[in-house]
């Protein structure tokens, strides 16, 4: 081979070697760049995973059949399950089967996730203890590949405490409305007949509003006998229709000390037979007896029976209702006394009128009597009948001012 040709080939090799070196340097730079990107992605993934694991919300990924493929560890704190206990199982298996959804069963709710993405959906879950219910506010998102839903990602925030607070507020508002309604009834009704109806309505509303199985009310007479005025609830037949006497150890305490007392099934052994009768069949576990206190005395009692543990949070409500009833009793009795005094004055006027004209003696009372009978036959309201009764008595009262000479 000639020297010149060899030199040309060497020059060609040097040129190609230079190109190879350039390519190698580019590949090396690309490799280093890929390593940096990979490390950055790894760090980002670790940070994202750490963020997910430390979130206060439950994050899960499920397939289109509702089978859990991933769930973060906060589920253990909220639901009591380890992640390994949940992965591979259906999401609806951890939902509370007693809760009623508009779409139907728990399985129907999970199936619906394939059709729509949930926005702030309330999902009722069941804790691993089998008793505690947890409420999650759930948002879901479809994970799509090749125009098909392949997975469902969900985020659930524990709002159990908020739901409980909202329910308490609703219950308190309901109770306050109940008290306002009773107060309005007391202000509108003063007669003894209306009082009986008011006592009956109060006991009935306590049973329905507070969901207790028994509520009774009794008024005390001058001999210390407590007469039953109303009884409502599932166990009203357990109540004695006879008068109770305030000499009973518990009733005496309530009447004399003017304070409510809670009697349990065990402590009722010291009570009289009539009081123990409430606990006879073992249905009532606790009985709260409240005094109907006025400014001067206790005018009666109200009893609330429950078939489980008694909730002290209801005591202020019951005390308020008992005080309202006591006020109604006092108001009614004052009204009756005033009405009696008013009728005495009317009868005095009638007597003076008839003394002046003996010819028509008894006429006013007879007119009043016949007028009342006609009014009742016509079905007029009681208030109108009372006015007609008085009008019949007084229809000739003008005679008092007429001279005897006429």
pLDDT confidence of residue 186 = 61
- For residue 52, being part of any structural domain is answered with no
- 301 forms beta bridges with 218, 291
pLDDT confidence of residue 46 = 55
Q: pTM of the prediction?
A: 0.55
- 267 forms beta bridges with none
**Same-domain check for residues 206 and 290:** yes
| Strand positions, DSSP E, 279-402 | 286-293, 298-306
pLDDT confidence of residue 129 = 93
| Cα angle 160, 162, 165; round to 5 | 110
Q: Is the pLDDT of residue 95 over 70?
A: yes
- For residue 43, being part of any structural domain is answered with no
Please report which confidence band the pLDDT of residue 181 belongs to, taking 50, 70 and 90 as the band edges: confident
Q: Any idea which residue has 């190109």 for tokens?
A: 19
Residues 6+ apart with CB under 8 A from 135: 122, 123, 124, 125, 158, 159, 160, 163
pLDDT confidence of residue 188 = 62
Q: How many domains does the chain have?
A: 3
Q: Is the pLDDT of residue 32 over 80?
A: no
Q: Is the pLDDT of residue 378 over 70?
A: yes
Q: Which CATH number do you get for residue 208?
A: 3.30.450.40
Could you tell me which of 1, 123, 14 has the C-alpha nearest to residue 66?
Answer: 123
Kindly state the average pLDDT of the residues 374-387: 86
- For residue 223, being part of any structural domain is answered with yes
- What gap in Å lies between CA 214 and CA 144, rounded to an integer? 58
**Same-domain check for residues 142 and 82:** yes
Q: Which CATH number do you get for residue 72?
A: 3.30.450.20
- For residue 20, being part of any structural domain is answered with no
What b/e sequence results for 165-177 when a residue is b if at least 16 CB atoms lie within 10 Å of its CB, and e otherwise?
eeeeeeeeeebee
Domain span at residue 151 reads 58-158
| Cα angle 318, 320, 326; round to 5 | 100
* Percentage of the chain lying above the pLDDT 70 cut: 79
* 105-122 pLDDT, tens digit each: 999 999 999 999 999 899
- For residue 130, being part of any structural domain is answered with yes
* 337-362 pLDDT, tens digit each: 887 888 788 778 777 776 766 666 67
**Same-domain check for residues 304 and 373:** no
Average pLDDT, the chain: 81
pLDDT confidence of residue 13 = 57
**Same-domain check for residues 206 and 312:** yes
**Same-domain check for residues 201 and 320:** yes
136 neighbors 156 (Cβ within 8 angstroms): yes
**Same-domain check for residues 194 and 328:** yes
**Same-domain check for residues 202 and 154:** no
Q: Is the pLDDT of residue 196 over 90?
A: no
Q: Is the pLDDT of residue 20 over 70?
A: no
pLDDT confidence of residue 44 = 55
**Same-domain check for residues 374 and 327:** no
**Same-domain check for residues 69 and 146:** yes
**Same-domain check for residues 265 and 382:** no
**Same-domain check for residues 330 and 194:** yes
- For residue 5, being part of any structural domain is answered with no
**Same-domain check for residues 323 and 372:** no
């Amino acid at each position: 081979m000639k020297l010149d040709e060899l030199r040309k080939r060497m020059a060609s090799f040097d040129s190609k070697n230079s190109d190879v070196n350039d390519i190698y340097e580019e590949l090396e730079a690309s490799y280093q760049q890929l390593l940096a990107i990979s490390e950055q992605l790894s760090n980002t993934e670790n940070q994202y995973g750490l963020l997910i694991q430390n979130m206060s919300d439950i994050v899960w990924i499920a397939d289109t059949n509702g089978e859990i493929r991933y769930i973060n560890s906060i589920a253990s704190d909220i639901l009591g399950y380890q992640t390994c206990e949940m992965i591979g199982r259906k999401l609806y298996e951890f939902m509370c089967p007693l809760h009623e959804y508009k779409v139907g069963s728990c399985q129907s709710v999970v199936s619906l996730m394939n059709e729509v993405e949930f926005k702030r959906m309330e999902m009722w879950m069941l804790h691993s203890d089998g008793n505690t219910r947890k409420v999650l506010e759930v948002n879901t998102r479809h994970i799509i590949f090749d125009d098909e839903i392949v997975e469902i990602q969900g985020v659930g925030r524990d709002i159990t405490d908020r739901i409980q607070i909202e329910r308490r507020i609703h219950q308190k508002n309901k109770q306050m409305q109940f008290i306002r309604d009773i107060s309005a009834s007391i202000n509108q009704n003063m007669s003894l007949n209306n009082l009986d109806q008011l006592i009956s309505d109060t006991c009935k509303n306590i049973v329905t509003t507070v969901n207790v199985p028994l509520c009774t009310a009794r008024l005390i007479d001058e001999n210390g006998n407590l007469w039953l005025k109303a009884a409502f609830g599932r166990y009203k037949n357990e109540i004695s229709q006879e008068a109770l006497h305030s000499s009973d150890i518990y009733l005496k305490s309530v009447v004399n000390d003017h304070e409510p007392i809670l009697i349990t099934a065990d402590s009722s052994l010291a009570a009289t037979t009539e009081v123990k009768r409430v606990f006879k069949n073992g249905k009532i576990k606790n009985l709260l007896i409240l005094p109907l206190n006025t400014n001067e005395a206790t005018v009666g009692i109200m009893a609330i029976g429950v078939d489980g543990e008694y909730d002290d949070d209801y005591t202020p409500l019951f005390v308020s209702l008992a005080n309202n009833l006591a006020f109604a009793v006092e108001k009614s009795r004052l009204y009756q006394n005033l009405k009696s005094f008013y009728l005495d004055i009317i009868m005095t006027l009638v007597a003076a009128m008839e003394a002046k004209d003996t010819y028509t003696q008894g006429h006013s009372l007879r007119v009043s009597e016949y007028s009342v009978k006609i009014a009742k036959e016509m079905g007029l309201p009681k208030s109108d009948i009372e006015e007609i009764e008085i009008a019949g008595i007084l229809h000739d009262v003008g005679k008092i001012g007429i001279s005897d000479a006429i």
